[in-house]
Amino acid sequence: MKQLQSEYQCAINLVIDLIGGKWKVLILWHLNEGDKRFNELRRTIPEITKKMLTQQLRELEGHGLVKRTVFEEVPPKVVYSTTDYGRNLQPVLYGMCQWGDDYAENEGIQMNSCWTGRDFMQK
């Protein structure tokens, strides 16, 4: 797991250490839609490998943004969800998504789905 520094010059550096990279923002975005099992989450991000998804979920869990709940069943059921910290990022993620939709429209970039058209902010 990526170790956080004991001191940062700027909060943006801390945020980048927490959610930077190719996958963490997408994982948080999809978990803020609702709790998901590992394979459900993997289907929402088909480009990610099992190994990378596991690593990224562990880092997000280690930093208190994602919670892993194990249900005592046979076979065991594991569900991932966002913590309060993770849910508090949703307005920021929504803003990033909205900015991306606007940029794509202005630059003539085709989007397969328009996330900002959904009502995520009501959750």
**pLDDT for the residue 122:** 45
Residue 1 vs residue 79, higher pLDDT: 79
What lies within 8 Å, CB to CB, of 9 at 6+ separation is: none
Cβ neighbours around 41 below 10 Å, total:
20
Q: Is 32 left (phi over 0), alpha (psi -120 to 50) or beta?
A: alpha
Rounded Cα gap, residues 68 and 81, in angstroms: 7
**pLDDT for the residue 23:** 96
Structure tokens that stand for 50 in this block: 């099992």
* Angle between helices 11-19 and 24-31 in degrees, nearest 10: 80
The pLDDT tens digits of the residues spanning 62-110 come to 999 999 999 988 888 999 999 999 999 999 999 998 898 889 989 999 8
Sign of CA dihedral 8, 9, 15, 21: negative
Rounded Cα gap, residues 120 and 35, in angstroms: 14
Rounded Cα gap, residues 91 and 9, in angstroms: 24
